[in-house]
Amino acid sequence: MNNTPLLEVERLTHIYRRGRKEETLALDQLSFSLGPGLYGLLGPNGAGKSTLLNIITCSLTPTSGRVRWNGSTISPLRTGFRRELGYMPQQQTLYDTFTGYRFLAYLCALKELPAKQIPAEVERAAALVNLSGELTKRLSAYSGGMKQRLLAAGAILGDPRLLIFDEPTAGLDPKERVRFRRMVKALSENRMVVIATHVVSDVEQVADGILLLKKGRLVCSGSPEQLIETYLGQDGSLEKVYLKIFGDEADVESDSA
Ligand code: ADP
Ligand code: MG
């Protein structure tokens, strides 16, 4: 991994509280620091991936700890940071009556892109996810895979320097997953990308670095090769490392690619 820190997470803790007694410790004093590159944030359901990404993208305020981007603490009020950020959340509501074009144009407006730039920007993002010909259709006519690609296009609008995807391949068929991986790899060439997933094959071939998260803590991090070497010796795969660490908790999902 490149050592120039771009994204720094410092002793991040998050506790969800429901009522007086019910508490969930979702992140537990999590710390790491990442340079430019493509990162896979791996862990089974409940590991804390979405909580972490929601905090990094300022959608959630942590119980304690902080996140720094390019040397400064992030905050929702920092317009500069919002402009540099592209986020595809795990759960996002799509308005079925919108066309693809209208949805992306709406996101451009939320990102405060100048109105004049919107048509070209929508076209550019749609082309990257192979949706150029589908923009006039209503979202009610989109397949699950098309909706995922549209959400990915939404994240790319404005050409952000930090791109965050949360379980981006949910609902995609194996062929679309492979296409998605290629797209993500291409996008990571001039920006930092973080992909949270419980599907090892989503990131195995493309990630420069892997972070393995378990119960809100970092189990290990390194390049896929380093993790394989540490946990298995020369021979093995990231999938096997994952199984070794998570055992029965690993809800393994694979594809033929
Ligand atoms: P992951 O994305 O890795 O599946 P999450 O960050 O969604 O993990 O969840 C981490 C933990 O926090 C889990 O135990 C989950 O049940 C809990 N959790 C997540 N969101 C909420 C919420 N809104 N309220 C209460 N508990 C939550
Ligand atoms: Mg999640």
What confidence tens digit (pLDDT) does each residue in 103-136 have? 999 999 988 899 999 999 999 999 988 899 999 9
Cβ neighbourhood burial of 236 (10 Å; 0-12, 13-18, 19+): middle
- Nearest by Cα to 12 from 43, 38, 33, 41: 33
Mean pLDDT of 152-181: 90
Distance from the CA of 48 to the center of ligand 1, in angstroms? 6
pLDDT band of residue 99 (cuts 50, 70, 90) is very high
Q: Whole-model pTM? A: 0.91
State residue 256's pLDDT score.
40
Distance set, CA 3 to CA 7, 34, 56, 65, 166 (Å): 11, 7, 19, 22, 24
* AA letter at 253: E
Distance from the CA of 154 to the center of ligand 2, in angstroms? 19
The number of the ligand nearest the C-alpha atom of 54 reads 1
State residue 95's pLDDT score.
87
Which of 51, 52, 54 most suits a substitution to test ligand 1, by most atoms within 8 Å of the C-beta? Answer: 51
Distance from the CA of 117 to the center of ligand 1, in angstroms? 37
pLDDT greater at residue 248 or residue 189:
189
46 lines ligand 1 (CB under 6 A): yes
Mean pLDDT of 97-105: 96
CA–CA dist 156, 171 (Å, integer): 20
State residue 251's pLDDT score.
61
What is the radius of gyration, based on Cα positions, of the chain?
Answer: 18
Question: Residue 169 in contact with residue 88, Cβ under 8 Å?
Answer: no
CA–CA dist 131, 147 (Å, integer): 10
Bridge-based pairing of strands 72-73 and 64-69 is antiparallel
Q: Which of 22-26, 88-92, 212-216 is the least confident region?
A: 88-92
201 lines ligand 1 (CB under 6 A): no
